[in-house]
């Protein structure tokens, strides 16, 4: 079979290694050599990869803060018949990385977009975590603010699929602390750190065990955080029903949290987050029924 050639006027979305430089496909290397231009999240970072494989294709930057402006220039090149490869610093572009906007612009302009699949930290972590893989949900980065993060964690209760998340290393422990508070100490988790790199680590255990493990020293590197399907326990169902009743009586969220914390041996902030979630769901249901 003859070697496939890149097509002019086409955007190639090329996955690159997340750490180990050997984790790149022969097709990805060929495309990177044959295109007229490579749009990279960080040209300095990408030059190391290209130099390793002796690829001299010109580079231009396309990152979060210039993607909107840069897309117009890249579209012009594509309309003129140039083939362009889009890469991020590591893994698959547009997956919690720049690139989604450029892809959308290309689709709107009728420009072919071709994926060149390869490494993705979320999938790499999922396949080795030992958690259920039949149904899973990738939810990107959790909110940086603790209150918003706790609300989002509370919304996962009853979701019958494994959750795959990205997290910044300096927020991992506070995130695990919120998981313990919102989902319980025994919530099964996996934490993948520095996948494919020299200091790769894959921790599997309960949320409280993970918190103890990662609290012993500063956390470094790229983090993938996975949560097993979050069960709805009988006490949790009873608590949710109690919160609904107090909401119907018109009590404020803080009053509900204070009133139920002792009865259900649960922190006030956890009950507050649950009450806020149930109240918001009720408001949404009422607006949709109008």
Nearest-angstrom CA–CA distance, 203 and 270: 26
Model confidence at 20: pLDDT above 80: yes
Q: Which residue has the tokens 């210039």?
A: 66
Nearest-angstrom CA–CA distance, 75 and 104: 11
Q: Work out the average pLDDT over 130-148.
A: 94
Nearest-angstrom CA–CA distance, 4 and 1: 9
Q: What is the mean pLDDT of the chain?
A: 91
Percentage of the chain with pLDDT > 90? 73
**Beta strand ranges found along 64-152 (DSSP E):** 84-87, 113-116, 136-141
Q: Work out the average pLDDT over 80-97.
A: 96
pLDDT tens track for 197-229: 999 999 999 999 999 999 999 999 999 999 999
Q: Which residue has the tokens 């689709």?
A: 107
Q: Which strands, in side-by-side order, build the sheet including 136-141? A: 136-141, 162-167, 223-227, 188-193, 201-206
Q: Work out the average pLDDT over 142-156.
A: 91
Distances (CA, A) of 65 to 61, 68, 70, 98, 274: 10, 8, 9, 9, 35
Direct distance between the N- and C-terminal alpha carbons of the chain, in angstroms, rounded to an integer: 61
Spatial CA neighbour of 84 closest among 16, 32, 138, 145? 32
Q: Which residues contact 255 (CB under 8 A, 6 or more apart)?
A: 246
pLDDT at 285: 56
Nearest-angstrom CA–CA distance, 31 and 271: 53
pLDDT at 233: 64
Quickly state the pLDDT bin for 114 (edges 50, 70, 90): very high
Model confidence at 120: pLDDT above 70: yes
pLDDT at 219: 96
Q: Work out the average pLDDT over 8-37.
A: 97
Nearest-angstrom CA–CA distance, 51 and 42: 14
Quickly state the pLDDT bin for 1 (edges 50, 70, 90): very low
110: left (phi over 0), alpha (psi -120 to 50) or beta: left
Half-sphere exposure of 122 (CA within 13 A, CB side): 21
pLDDT tens track for 227-279: 999 876 666 677 888 888 999 999 999 999 888 887 777 767 778 877 877 78
């Amino acid at each position: 079979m003859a070697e496939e050639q890149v097509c002019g006027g086409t955007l190639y979305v090329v996955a690159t290694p997340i750490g180990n430089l050997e984790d790149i496909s022969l097709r990805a290397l060929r495309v990177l050599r044959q295109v007229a231009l490579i749009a990279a999240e960080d040209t300095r970072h990408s030059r190391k990869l290209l130099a390793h494989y002796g690829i001299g294709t010109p580079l231009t930057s396309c990152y979060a803060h210039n993607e909107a402006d840069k897309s117009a220039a890249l579209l012009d090149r594509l309309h003129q018949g140039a083939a362009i490869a889009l890469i991020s610093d590591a893994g698959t572009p547009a997956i919690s990385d720049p690139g989604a906007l450029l892809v959308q612009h290309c689709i709107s302009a009728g420009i072919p977009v071709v994926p060149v699949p390869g490494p993705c930290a979320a999938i790499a972590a999922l396949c080795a975590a030992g958690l259920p893989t039949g149904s899973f949900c990738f939810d990107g980065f959790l909110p940086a603010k603790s209150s918003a993060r706790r609300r989002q964690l509370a919304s996962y209760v009853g979701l019958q699929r494994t959750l795959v998340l990205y997290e910044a290393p300096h927020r991992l422990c506070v995130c695990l602390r919120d998981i313990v508070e919102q989902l319980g100490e025994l919530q099964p988790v996996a934490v993948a750190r520095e996948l494919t790199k020299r200091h790769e680590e894959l921790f599997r255990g309960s949320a409280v065990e993970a918190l103890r493990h990662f609290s012993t020293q500063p956390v470094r590197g790229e983090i993938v955080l996975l949560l097993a399907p979050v069960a709805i326990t009988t006490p949790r169902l009873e608590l949710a029903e109690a919160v609904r009743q107090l909401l119907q009586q018109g009590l404020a969220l803080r009053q509900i949290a204070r009133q139920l914390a002792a009865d259900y041996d649960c922190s006030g902030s956890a009950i507050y987050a649950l009450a806020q979630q149930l109240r918001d769901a009720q408001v949404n249901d009422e607006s949709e029924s109008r």
